Amino acid sequence: MKYIIVTGGVLSGLGKGITAASIGRMLKNREYKVTVIKIDPYINIDAGTMNPFQHGEVYVLKDGGEADLDLGHYERFLNVELTSDHNITTGKVYLSVIQQERRGGFLGKTVQIIPHITDEIKREIREVAEKSDSDICIVEIGGTVGDIEGMPFLEAIRQMRREEKKENLILVHVTLVPINNIGEQKTKPTQHSVKELKSLGLQPDVIIGRCRDSLSEETKSKISLFCDVPENAVISNYDAKDIYLVPEMLEREELGEYIVKKLKLDGRKVDTRWYRRIKAYSERNKDSIKIALVGKYGLEDAYLSVKEALKHACVREDYNHKIEMRWVEAEDLEESTNLDDYLKEMHGILVPGGFGVRGTKGKIDAIRYARERDIPFLGICLGFQLSVIEFARDVLKINAQSREFEEFNSPAVEDQSQRSSCVIDLLPEQREIKDLGGTMRLGDQEIDIEKNSLAYELYKRDKIRERHRHRYEVNPDYIEVFEENGVKFSGKGGERMEILEIPSNRFFIATQFHPEFRSSLDEPAPAFLGFVRAMIDFKKDQKS
Ligand code: GLN
């Protein structure tokens, strides 16, 4: 097994994850099998309980693992499916060591960070790498060198480096090269962070300088001299117009070849198709389609996978359009007297997943706007549930609500007739559960698709597998009345409704699952391909 360890210096948020994913892509384009491990030095066991407002979206893996959004970058760049084992956190490592200790696993010894925690870290990395049956394992260490939280992980890497053959492990350090107000590239922050790394016993093999522009020869030779790496191992990673352009940029810097040599891999031909496709897309200066994403976290990162999935779909050569996103705060819609101000020129409306009652009214308003004006619509998870509620309220004239918000809104309503009808509810067997912690339905689940439907047109299969992260379902008591009134549930997982469509509309589809988590540039998600196609057609229809 070959290991590429990626650390970061100076600042967090430098795009270390994208850089690591790009390195992976370069190697994949040489037909090596690549896997990735993300280390998050926080004490949470996983990202499941983290607020997307602070951390960006919670990314869901096929085994139901809830992870940091970097795992999403890896899956999208590499078109692989990872599991929660590929996300190692301080919490997981300590939990495992403490459980061993309770079982008497340390035979009376004092349990310490070195060697017990570091041994556990090394064991987990190696086990995951070996199990993945890959040629190369990229390990990204979250945070910045020098953080207290990251120390045990860096120490474990130092030990691994002694234990592995020289050509089996390299260290790539991603750092910031700022530009001062007279336009000079400054190397001091890089020098300091490499010094910090060296003080922990780690000498980088490659230094990648994140900078607004390409690093000058002078900057490169300065970094090379002060940080003890060859000049051709100082690599520019300047701000790219599109994250998918980064692998090709690093390729031009000859990083791919450098890594191949350093790891003593056999030289292989580079397949450049992936680079060319994204390049062609970024150079398109054709028309764009406008889409409104009606969300509430005020932060694009909270819907990262949705944004990426839209792009994956749009990159298709024959689509010939670009995506123009408008981020609409659901609460702004609630306050507005004229939805046209936000939604009028849109070729598509998307309501993504979410939790909690805040903003739901605005999302329902947007869904109604799309349904009534026959604008292409895609609803995801909460967007699916709110589509059900919208239809129930407006067409079926039911005072409809989701159990999630009913409990929240009217806990004191004793008179049952005053309560709204939960068309979205827990399944009957779950309704008595008091503590809902840990009861979410997570990860891959199978869905049966009805032949004569839009969903079948998109997926071209009658059985699919998609990722989930939800607790509530369409209440089985209401399914018949929906179906009698123009809604089609074209995808089902046993008694659970998974896909809703309104066949009388040009493109109105909503899914209980999250199609965005299984989308990559190599294989865009069918629901998104269809949605983007529908937007392009809608735009053309409007023109003619
Ligand atoms: N809050 C809803 C549920 O728990 C939807 C979840 C989501 O959109 N991810 O079922």
pLDDT in tens, 108-151: 899 999 999 999 999 999 999 999 999 999 999 999 999 999 99
| Displacement of CA 192 from its chain's centroid (Å) | 32
Q: pLDDT tens for residues 349-373?
A: 999 999 888 899 999 999 999 999 9
- Protein residue with its CA nearest to atom 1 in ligand 1: 355
- Active-site residue 480, yes or no? no
Query: In the chain, what are the domains?
Result: 2-278 (3.40.50.300), 285-406+418-427+441-543 (3.40.50.880)
Cα 380-382-387 angle, rounded to 5 deg: 80
Atom of ligand 1 nearest to the CA of 473: 10
Atom of ligand 1 nearest to the CA of 469: 9
Q: pLDDT tens for residues 173-188?
A: 999 999 999 999 999 9
Helix axis angle, 118-131 to 90-102, nearest 10°: 110
Q: What is the pLDDT of residue 418?
A: 64
* 543 compared with 63, residue with greater pLDDT: 63
359: helix, strand or coil: coil
Interval between CA 323 and ligand 1 midpoint (Å): 26
Average pLDDT over every residue of 337-350: 94
Q: Which of 57, 58, 59, 355 to mutate to test the pocket of ligand 1 (most atoms within 8 A of CB)?
A: 355
Cα 79-85-89 angle, rounded to 5 deg: 115
Interval between CA 354 and ligand 1 midpoint (Å): 6
Residues 6+ positions from 338 with CB-CB distance below 8 Å = none
The helix or strand, by DSSP H or E, that contains position 87, with its residue range, turns out to be strand 87-89
Average pLDDT over every residue of 458-475: 96
Interval between CA 8 and ligand 1 midpoint (Å): 34
Q: pLDDT tens for residues 439-452?
A: 889 999 999 999 99
Q: Which of 296, 381, 402, 512 to mutate to test the pocket of ligand 1 (most atoms within 8 A of CB)?
A: 381
Q: What is the pLDDT of residue 528?
A: 97
Catalytic residue among 137, 314, 381, 422: 381
- Above 70 in pLDDT, residue 381? yes
Tokens of 98: 């403490």
> Could you tell me the CA-to-CA distances from 24 to 53, 115, 217 in Å, in that order?
28, 30, 26
Interval between CA 324 and ligand 1 midpoint (Å): 26
Q: What is the pLDDT of residue 1?
A: 97
Percentage of the chain beyond pLDDT 70 is 96
- Above 90 in pLDDT, residue 194? yes
Q: What DSSP assignment string belongs to 294-336?
A: EESSS-GGGGHHHHHHHHHHHHSGGG--EEEEEEEEHHHHHH-
Average pLDDT over every residue of 200-221: 96
Atom of ligand 1 nearest to the CA of 472: 10
Atom of ligand 1 nearest to the CA of 440: 4
- Above 90 in pLDDT, residue 336? no
- Above 80 in pLDDT, residue 337? yes
Q: Which of 32-46, 316-330, 469-483, 509-523 has the lowest mean pLDDT?
A: 316-330
Strand order in the sheet with 421-425: 400-402, 421-425, 473-474
- Protein residue with its CA nearest to atom 8 in ligand 1: 353
Interval between CA 353 and ligand 1 midpoint (Å): 6
Interval between CA 483 and ligand 1 midpoint (Å): 23
- Above 60 in pLDDT, residue 410? no
Cα 58-62-63 angle, rounded to 5 deg: 95
- Above 90 in pLDDT, residue 296? no
Length of the chain: 544
- Above 80 in pLDDT, residue 408? no
Q: Can you tell me the distance from the alpha carbon of 178 to that of 212, in angstroms, rounded to the nearest whole number?
A: 8
The helix or strand, by DSSP H or E, that contains position 158, with its residue range, turns out to be helix 151-163
Q: What is the pLDDT of residue 482?
A: 96
- Above 90 in pLDDT, residue 468? yes
Q: What is the pLDDT of residue 300?
A: 75
Q: What is the pLDDT of residue 52?
A: 67
Atom of ligand 1 nearest to the CA of 354: 8
Please report which confidence band the pLDDT of residue 513 belongs to, taking 50, 70 and 90 as the band edges.
Answer: very high
| Displacement of CA 22 from its chain's centroid (Å) | 15
Q: What is the pLDDT of residue 313?
A: 94
Q: What is the pLDDT of residue 412?
A: 54
Please report which confidence band the pLDDT of residue 434 belongs to, taking 50, 70 and 90 as the band edges.
Answer: confident
pLDDT averaged over every residue in the chain: 92
- Above 60 in pLDDT, residue 430? yes
The helix or strand, by DSSP H or E, that contains position 181, with its residue range, turns out to be none
Atom of ligand 1 nearest to the CA of 352: 8
CA nearest to 472, candidates 334, 345, 321, 360:
360
Interval between CA 340 and ligand 1 midpoint (Å): 27
Interval between CA 424 and ligand 1 midpoint (Å): 10
Q: Which residue is listed with tokens 């300047």? A: 238
- Above 90 in pLDDT, residue 192? yes
Q: What is the pLDDT of residue 407?
A: 63
Count of alpha carbons within 13 angstroms of residue 241, beta-carbon side: 7
Q: What is the pLDDT of residue 415?
A: 59
Please report which confidence band the pLDDT of residue 51 belongs to, taking 50, 70 and 90 as the band edges.
Answer: confident
- Protein residue with its CA nearest to atom 5 in ligand 1: 382
- Active-site residue 514, yes or no? yes
Q: Which of 378, 404, 514 to mutate to test the pocket of ligand 1 (most atoms within 8 A of CB)?
A: 404
- Protein residue with its CA nearest to atom 9 in ligand 1: 353
- Active-site residue 211, yes or no? no
| Pocket lining for ligand 1, CB < 6 angstroms | 353-355, 381-382, 385, 404, 469-472
